[in-house]
Amino acid sequence: MLDAALYGGDDRPAVILTYAWDRLLIDPVPGPRGPENFTGLRPLTRSVWTVPANAKPIAPAGSTLPRLAAELPHTFALIDPTHGAEGITRQLEELIEHLAPESIDLLDVGGDILAKGDEPTLRSPLGDALTLAACCQINAPVRLLIAGPGLDGELPAELLANRMGPAAQTLTPEHVEPISSVLEWHPSEATGMLAATARGIRGLCEVRDAGLPVPLTDQGPTVHEADLDDALNRNELARAILATETLAEAEQYSREVCGYSEIDYERNKASWLGNQPEQKLDQEATLRQLDQFEAQARDRGITHTTFRRITEALGLNGKQRQDLRALLLSSRPDQYEAPLWRIQPRPE
């Protein structure tokens, strides 16, 4: 979406360097995946591998990257945090030498990369801190962009207001169009809400297993520039991990600075999910459960939710998410406001 908005999209496809770090609904293995977790990767530089459409995660790992590569014109390259911030810095330096890019944008949806580290609503600082630390150590200009302030359900938009500049771009339905087919299957809630607000959807969206309420406002589709050095000076975890050479070392700093590691959370949740009996997707029972969930959500003031949230709220697993989605769209198509699910208003 950002590429379409800033650079015109398909004419000159971007190289997107990103983590293979999917939710447990997609990848039941905690933490990010490295090159050793895939077959079919292609070397781009000594330390950077691209993820082509025919690449496959090695079971039990899962990844959305090969399908993204199949459906979009961009080149997807893998951020490998195995060797900490120093390893990612090395990957960036190699890419810059190899590609001689016209521009380098560090994109965060939601804005938690602008955290200090002690905010009580912060949930997933490690991946952002690693990329921020690496980008601040390369000898090339990097533009830090925040899309959809507050949409990741971590730092509220009002807290971010004085940590970034005014809106540099506002996403529109035309910018969403190139990824519209991806939104039909990809589980990213933040990207889904970013696209929804760009399409004009407003309200209060409930996300994640914890049911966090995220406002969908006119601020949602905006893209702001923020100062990279200011972000590093503020982000205690990013500063602490600048010289880390392993992911385990960076994770330990996260425990010390923030009081937790999101990979520990994933480990605990994966263990809990592994002990849960699989629920059968029975059509009538599922729709009854949905009615109960929607009634409770209405009482909380919720107007929209994500299919990930419904899947977890109904006790279903990640393999059943698409089946649940198909059932809901076939039985109640008027409640689908792509890519979100609209909570039916209370009958008059």
SS (H, E, C) 18-86: ECECCCCCCCCCCCCECHHHEECCEECCCCCEECCCCCEECCCCCCCHHHHHHHCCCEEEECCHHHHHH
Task: State the pLDDT confidence band at 168, using cuts at 50, 70 and 90.
Answer: very high
Mean pLDDT value of segment 54-83? 97
- Whether the pLDDT of residue 10 is over 70: the answer is no
- Whether the pLDDT of residue 54 is over 80: the answer is yes
- Please report the pLDDT score of residue 348 as a whole number: 66
Mean pLDDT value of segment 77-105? 98
Single-letter code of the amino acid located at 111? G
Q: Long-range CB contacts (< 8 A, 24+ apart) of 244-249?
A: 244/84, 244/85, 244/86, 244/133, 245/83, 245/84, 245/86, 245/87, 246/82, 246/83, 246/84, 247/31, 247/32, 247/81, 247/82, 247/83, 247/84, 249/84
Tell me the C-alpha distance between 59 and 22, whole Å.
14
- Whether the pLDDT of residue 330 is over 90: the answer is yes
- Mean per-residue pLDDT over the chain, rounded: 96
Tell me the C-alpha distance between 320 and 271, whole Å.
19
Range from 8-12, 148-152, 199-203, 246-250 carrying the lowest mean pLDDT: 8-12
The full set of domain ranges for the chain reads 2-171+221-240, 283-342
223 or 281, which is more confident? Answer: 223
Mean pLDDT value of segment 121-145? 97
- Please report the pLDDT score of residue 277 as a whole number: 81
Mean pLDDT value of segment 69-78? 97
Mean pLDDT value of segment 177-188? 95
- Whether the pLDDT of residue 271 is over 80: the answer is yes
Mean pLDDT value of segment 54-81? 97
Range from 4-13, 52-61, 130-139, 147-156 carrying the lowest mean pLDDT: 4-13
Q: Give the global pTM.
A: 0.96
Range from 68-82, 225-239, 308-322 carrying the lowest mean pLDDT: 308-322
